[in-house]
Amino acid sequence: MDVEAAIRPLCGRMVEVCIEDLAGRDPVAPPRTFELLRVKLLPEGTHLQCYLNVTQFLSIPVFGDERTKLTLDGPSGTTFVSEDSHGQLRYTMFWKSS
């Protein structure tokens, strides 16, 4: 899946981001909502940079298997999930249907 190309049309829309600690060591952080300005896949293809503004971005690991999933325009909206088993974190991005 070309995750950058799939998510690029969602730039300019508000997205809710949640990072979950799968190990249960840290408290669950509240979701954060921001406008996704742009996305950029690193040349190595290992991380997707999701820009909150011109200089700040969230770097999400991406994998070529079932750990990285994109559900486009499901019943409630579009969801991107990437689960980093090494870091024991799950990254979820959610766009409500417009």
For residues 25 and 57, the model is more confident at 57
User: In 34-97, which ranges are continuous DSSP H helix?
Assistant: none
Query: What pTM did the predictor assign?
Result: 0.90
Q: pLDDT tens digits for 18-47?
A: 999 998 887 778 899 999 999 999 999 999
State the Cα–Cα distance between residues 60 and 74, nearest whole angstrom.
22
pLDDT of residue 37: 98
Percent of the chain exceeding pLDDT 70 equals 99
**Sign (positive or negative) of CA dihedral 61, 65, 69, 70:** positive
pLDDT of residue 39: 98
Q: Are 29 and 16 in contact (CB under 8 A)?
A: no
- Identity (one letter) of the amino acid at 9? P
| Six token digits for residue 1 | 């899946």
Question: ∠ CA 32-3-22 to the nearest 5 degrees?
Answer: 50
Domain 3-96 sits in CATH 2.70.180.10: yes
pLDDT of residue 98: 66
